Amino acid sequence: MLIKTVDINEVQWTKLLALVKTGTEIILMEGNTLIAHLVPVPSSPSSTRLPGLHLGAIWASDDFDQPLPDEFWVAEV
């Protein structure tokens, strides 16, 4: 992947975004200080999500939506 460093005082956003769309990473600098790192967003997810893959791995107790006891909310000194 190509990487280009640009001073923020010389930024031409349209041109930079066109480069990012083609896969170029852009590093924005102000003098010797790194300001931002622009990278292209992948066009598709890297992996396909499978519903039900971890079925049963997470559970909630029957009383998960019940109010918490007062002792939970009151700090003991």
Cα(17)–Cα(23) distance, integer angstroms: 10
Rounded CA gap, 55 and 18, in Å?
43
**Domain boundary assignment for the chain:** 1-41
Residue 32 near residue 54, CB atoms below 8 Å: no
Read off the pLDDT band of 77 (50, 70, 90): low
Residue with the two structure tokens 């170029």: 24
Question: What letter does residue 9 receive in the DSSP assignment?
Answer: G
Q: Which amino acid is at 36?
A: A
pLDDT digits (tens, 9 = 90+) for 16-55: 888 888 889 988 888 888 888 988 887 766 677 788 888 8
Q: Are 9 and 31 in contact (CB under 8 A)?
A: no
Please give the pLDDT value at position 65: 92
H/E stretch holding 5 reads strand 3-7
